[in-house]
Amino acid sequence: DDGPKINAVRPAADPTMISAAHIYGDKVIGVILTGMGSDGAHGIRVIKENGGYTIAQDESTCVVFGMPKAAIATGCVDTVLPIEEIPKQLVEVMGGKYGE
């Protein structure tokens, strides 16, 4: 990607998350996992504003808590979970039953 840096990184998560939120609205699930900086926090806010569901990885299972912490600070994260519980939550949010 030769485009400009967003949130001091390239590529950045925010543009993809924002596009998905605007196109798919309440059908979007945004997940922020371990990482440095604040990339994805604005995307989480836009997903939530468009009716989507949001998840952030908890601090205890992060290598670097920067990105999840920034997302949580927006007040737009629905659920904070350890990494190993995120797949189950995703399946349940999508209307399925985990492990079937």
d(CA 17, CA 77): 14
Q: Are 29 and 53 in contact (CB under 8 A)?
A: yes
Q: Looking at residue 5, what is its pLDDT?
A: 65
The pTM of the full predicted model, rounded to 2 decimals, is 0.89
Query: Which two tokens mark 90?
Result: 């995703």
Report pLDDT for 98: 61
User: CA-to-CA distance for 37 and 42, rounded, in angstroms?
Assistant: 12
Blockwise average pLDDT, block size 10, the chain, 100 residues: 68 92 96 96 98 98 98 99 98 78
Residue type, 70: A
| pLDDT for res 77 | 99
**CATH class in words for 13-93:** alpha beta
pLDDT at 44: 99
- Map out the domains of the chain as residue ranges: 13-93
pLDDT at site 97? 66
